[in-house]
């Protein structure tokens, strides 16, 4: 005749804690499984029944039931020294985090995970985990803008935002800018037309011509762009482009938003 089953008795506090461990998605799997073993044991099932219910081996169910009966909830935690021993010291982790925050001396703009691994002798995977734990992301860049030296910056900012959000009646808001030194390229051979079984083909080689400039105006609220190609850009070309816009949009009150290039602030343009 088998030995009688030793009943596992739970207090309300133990029951609540074990149920939380068993159901929480953040609880380590081994701890959640041990909690289910004790909850099942409290129902009065035999070790074979507990093993069948939880999927854990007979000997493991016996071990965790004994540990709980002897030490309560503390008995379900691993004893010190068990598990995989740490091979990377805290000093090494701090060294990697500090090194990742410095600028490389070899001309690179950042220290990649692979470069950090080569410099410290620690595996790429371990370095990646250490950086993640330290909330460092060497591969990401965030742009920021310092305080403008322009004393009228706040007033200009408010005026531009106002034009974007609530333009005056019969107003046309134009963002005007220029691009200079555009390389004018041409393919060395003509395009070959598409044929059955072949797409149209363009030669990969090209020849360089001179450079060109582009003046463009974006109508903020209509989404249309007016552009003009010029051989070079200067204040005269910029002023002529503004006059072209004025003639095209007759009857509209033009509000021009432009960058602080010297050509845009030239005396002739301002007048």
Per-residue pLDDT tens digits for 112-149: 899 899 888 999 999 999 999 889 988 888 888 888 88
Instruction: Report yes or no: 235 and 269 within 8 Å, Cβ to Cβ.
Output: yes
The pLDDT of residue 254 is 92
pLDDT in tens, 153-185: 899 999 999 999 999 988 999 999 999 888 888
Is residue 232 domain-shared with residue 196, that is, in the same domain? Answer: yes
The values of phi and psi at residue 213, to 5°, are -120, 160
Show the tokens assigned to 182. 């555009």
Mean pLDDT to the nearest integer, 91-109? 88
Q: With pLDDT > 70 as the criterion, what percentage of the chain qualifies?
A: 95
Query: Of 27, 45, 76, which residue is a domain's last?
Result: 76
Is residue 96 domain-shared with residue 35, that is, in the same domain? Answer: no
Q: What is the mean pLDDT of the chain?
A: 87
DSSP 3-state assignment of 94? helix
Is residue 57 domain-shared with residue 32, that is, in the same domain? Answer: yes
Is residue 189 domain-shared with residue 240, that is, in the same domain? Answer: yes
Is residue 201 domain-shared with residue 261, that is, in the same domain? Answer: yes
Is residue 222 domain-shared with residue 266, that is, in the same domain? Answer: yes
The answer to whether residue 170 sits within a structural domain is yes
Mean pLDDT to the nearest integer, 195-221? 90
Would you say residue 2 has pLDDT above 70? no
The answer to whether residue 160 sits within a structural domain is no
Residue 5 pLDDT class (50, 70, 90 cuts): low
The pLDDT of residue 84 is 64
The answer to whether residue 200 sits within a structural domain is yes
Is residue 103 domain-shared with residue 69, that is, in the same domain? Answer: no
d(CA 220, CA 257): 10
26-35, 64-73, 74-83, 200-209: least confident range:
74-83
Is residue 114 domain-shared with residue 18, that is, in the same domain? Answer: no
Residue 1 pLDDT class (50, 70, 90 cuts): very low
Number of domains in the chain: 3
Closest CA relative to residue 178, chosen from 219, 238, 247, 218 = 238
Residue 87 pLDDT class (50, 70, 90 cuts): confident
Whole-prediction pTM value?
0.48
10: exposed, middle or buried (Cβ count in 10 Å: 0-12, 13-18, 19+):
middle
The answer to whether residue 39 sits within a structural domain is yes
d(CA 141, CA 133): 19
Is residue 124 domain-shared with residue 55, that is, in the same domain? Answer: no
The answer to whether residue 146 sits within a structural domain is no
The answer to whether residue 84 sits within a structural domain is no
Largest CA distance in the chain: 111
**Domain limits for position 199:** 165-270
Query: Of 76, 98, 119, which residue is a domain's last?
Result: 76
Is residue 169 domain-shared with residue 203, that is, in the same domain? Answer: yes
The answer to whether residue 262 sits within a structural domain is yes
The answer to whether residue 5 sits within a structural domain is no
Is residue 173 domain-shared with residue 94, that is, in the same domain? Answer: no
Q: With pLDDT > 90 as the criterion, what percentage of the chain qualifies?
A: 33
Is residue 32 domain-shared with residue 59, that is, in the same domain? Answer: yes
d(CA 21, CA 27): 6
d(CA 245, CA 179): 17
d(CA 243, CA 96): 59
């Amino acid at each position: 005749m088998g030995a009688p089953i030793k009943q596992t008795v739970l207090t309300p506090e133990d029951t609540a804690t074990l149920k939380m461990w068993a159901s929480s998605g953040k609880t380590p799997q081994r701890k959640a499984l041990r909690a289910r073993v004790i909850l099942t044991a409290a129902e009065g099932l035999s070790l074979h029944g507990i093993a069948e219910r939880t999927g854990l081996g007979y000997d493991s169910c016996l071990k965790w039931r004994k540990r709980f009966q002897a030490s309560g909830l503390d008995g379900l935690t691993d004893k010190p020294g068990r598990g995989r021993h740490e091979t990377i010291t805290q000093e090494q982790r701090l060294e990697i985090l500090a090194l990742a925050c410095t600028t490389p001396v070899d001309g690179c703009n950042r220290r990649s995970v692979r470069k950090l691994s080569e410099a410290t002798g620690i595996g790429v995977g371990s370095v990646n985990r250490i950086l993640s734990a330290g909330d460092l992301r060497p591969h990401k860049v965030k742009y920021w803008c310092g305080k403008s030296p322009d004393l009228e910056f706040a007033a200009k900012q408010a005026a531009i935002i106002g034009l974007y959000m609530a333009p005056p009646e019969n107003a046309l808001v134009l963002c005007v800018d220029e691009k200079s030194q555009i390389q004018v390229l041409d393919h060395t051979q003509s395009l070959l037309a598409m044929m059955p079984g072949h797409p149209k083909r363009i030669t990969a080689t090209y020849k360089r011509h001179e450079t060109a400039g582009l003046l463009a105006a974006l109508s903020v609220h209509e989404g249309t762009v007016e552009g003009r190609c010029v051989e070079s850009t200067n204040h005269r070309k910029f002023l002529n482009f503004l006059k072209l816009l004025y003639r095209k949009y007759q009857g509209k009150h033009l509000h021009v938003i432009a960058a602080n290039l010297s050509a845009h602030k030239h005396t002739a343009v301002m007048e």
